[in-house]
Amino acid sequence: MYFITNPYSDSCEYIAWTDLIADHYGYKTKSFAYGGKSWWFSYLKFEQWKHQNPEQWELTDLVIFAHTDYSRLNSSDTNVQNLPTDTASFYKSSNIGTAIKMWHAYLYDHEFQRWAQQQFFKSLSNFGKDKKIIHMCMMRHGMRDGLGYDTIDNGVVVLDSLFDISSGEFKNGCFPDNFMDKRFCHFSPQNHVVLANELINLIDNYKPGPVSFRPNMFHKAFIQ
């Protein structure tokens, strides 16, 4: 059995929600998440893997998408990330960092980025009809900004924003200015467990359609 997920789970000091789910079901996992990369880059890598490994794809039972911000820079160059250029020291003095700043300043087209992600979500309506599929949205505007998240008609579509849950760990409910998030995958250890349990609940009671996580499950104000 295989479990395909977007959020990465590299080595860290506590267990990520992806690994907790995999351990619960005895799944093998395959991740297509890359720090700072766009939704297009991750999906490209996923499609390449699926084409090269049809037997593993056939054995896949569960796919979890965590859809990222549509404004990220789309590039197949693994060295190009869309990190905040004002806080990432590598980009402050690099040619790549300068190019990304110029792209945002002069070439970024908000309407095109919106349209591209709308088409991406529409295409997912025909994805993996024989699999259990869960869609999560990283940013609240994925659901509220006309991006087409609500057009996905296969699988479970979680209406809660992962960003809102993550920022809820702060006492005032928002990230401080210039804050460098040191949490793994933007969640505390406690909320990795909660998120895993909420997803296990959705998997065990699988019913395609829009859903929300159970209220008041996630821990608040771990970070002052």
Give residue 135's identity as a one-letter amino acid code: H
Which structural domains are found in the chain, ordered by start?
2-71+110-211 (3.40.50), 79-107 (no CATH)
What's the pLDDT score for residue 2?
Answer: 56
Residue 178 is predicted with a pLDDT of 67
Q: What pLDDT does 205 receive?
A: 97
Given a contact cutoff of 8 angstroms between Cβ atoms, the answer to whether 35 and 10 are in contact is no
pLDDT number for residue 79: 66
Helix (H, G, I), strand (E, B) or coil at 37: coil
Query: What per-residue confidence (pLDDT) applies to 9?
Result: 46
Give me 151's structure tokens.
């057009």
pLDDT given for residue 11 in this prediction = 46
pLDDT value of position 117: 85
pLDDT on residue 8: 46
Rg (CA), the chain: 18
Q: Which residues in the chain show pLDDT less than 70?
A: 1-13, 78-93, 142, 144-146, 176-178, 223-224
The predicted-structure confidence for 21-68, as pLDDT tens digits, reads as follows: 999 999 999 988 877 778 888 888 899 999 999 999 999 999 999 988
Helix (H) or strand (E) holding 100: helix 95-102
Contacts of 67 (CB under 8 A, 6+ apart): 6, 39, 121, 135, 136, 137, 138, 142, 149
* Residues 59 and 28: beta-carbon distance below 8 Å: no
